[in-house]
Amino acid sequence: MTNQHMLRLEPGTDAAWKLSGTDAGRFSLANEYLAYLADRNYSPRTVRAYGYDLLAFCRWLVSQDLELAAVTVETVLDFMRFCRLTPIEGRPANVLSMTGRRLDRYSATTINHRLAALSGMFAFRSMREPELHSPIPSGREARRVSAEERNALLGHLIRPKKRSELRLRQQRMLPRALDRRETADLLSSLRTWRDRAIAGLMLLSGLRSGEVLTLDVTDIDIGTRWVRVLGKGGKERRVPLDIEVAGLIQTYLLLERPESDCARLFLVAKGPNRGQSLTPAGLRTVFRYHRIKSGVLAGHPHALRHTFGTAMAEAGVDLAVMQALLGHAHVDTTARYIHLAPAHVKAEFDAARTRLRTRT
């Protein structure tokens, strides 16, 4: 029997996830930590993501015949080396990215995410048992603090948290926006009012796919053209609603939305699940179909949000306003879109060169 069969991740009670299987008893700390995250009101998706990170680590410990209590810095280094060198099943081994990295290996982002899960679990253990130190060494301070810490009463006294010295260097990739032709081709392939309204909310209001799927009918105020959005971390914000998108939503509600007791705005229209809330998997299926149909292979849901951010940057919208519209916790994230505004950057560059020429 393989390690995968001896240890697996399953949904527990409420928002908690847990490790189960033959070897689950050896890793009670992991389950206690996941339950702790759920008790702290972390979203089920976050708890699930941390659960899979810990599952990978615990499976590796089983293969090495090690216990959590015996984990040292050297053990963590060995695990990171394993993550970096082990091929991913189903990925082509002979394909390289433009940077020369093999595509059948885990990315630095994935490995750092696993490291963060381990760091959190061992910090949780140290909180309960101070005599047990974490095997994850702390390094230099992070570049920023969270929005909640920064806006607190004594936020000016908060110092950034220290990150682990084991973190891998990550490439800072700019978001990929769709150009006008790609946007037009993708939108023209959409046939239902529901799909057009979903795309419109992402493209013209900058909503995330998860935010679109959690919208209730009562969150849309077509008269005043506002949308109440529940974003990451349970942060609520109000976003202006474009008049064209308001028309699409109104037509969808009048002509296409199935009768249902479900409060969600966007529902499944056909099949045995008709009238139930549209799921993330269902939304991915919709966009996968239309990407192939339109030939716009970059037309992922989040690409529409990136296109919105780029358009706002090119229009010269204030950075603080863009942050509020996009629901970013840190202005650094919003600032990435400034680099995606080539027209604005080129205009400023040409203006600066003109001023320099007139001085000489």
Please identify every residue annotated as catalytic.
208, 232, 302, 305, 328, 337
For residue 179, the 8-state DSSP code is: -
The DSSP code sequence of 235-255 is: -EEEEE--HHHHHHHHHHHHH
**Close Cβ partners of 247 (under 8 Å, ≥ 6 residues apart):** none
Q: Measuring CA to CA, which residue among 178, 188, 180 is closest to residue 301? A: 178
Q: Which of 106, 2, 99 is nearest to 53 (CA)?
A: 106
Question: Which one-letter DSSP state was computed for residue 35?
Answer: H
Q: Quote the tokens at residue 234.
A: 């349970």
Handedness of CA 43, 10, 216, 225 (dihedral sign): positive
| E strand or H helix at 66 | none
| Distance separating alpha carbons of residues 198 and 207, to the nearest angstrom | 9
**Measured distance CA(327)–CA(331) in Å, rounded:** 10
Do 190 and 290 meet the contact criterion of CB atoms below 8 Å apart? Answer: yes
First and final C-alpha spacing in the chain: 78
Cα distance between residue 62 and residue 10, in whole Å: 18
- Residue 236's identity, in one-letter code, is E
Residue identified by tokens 């995410």 is 113
Cα–Cα dist 6/256, whole Å:
47
* Tokens (6 digits) for 308: 């919105």
Q: DSSP secondary-structure letter at 27?
A: G
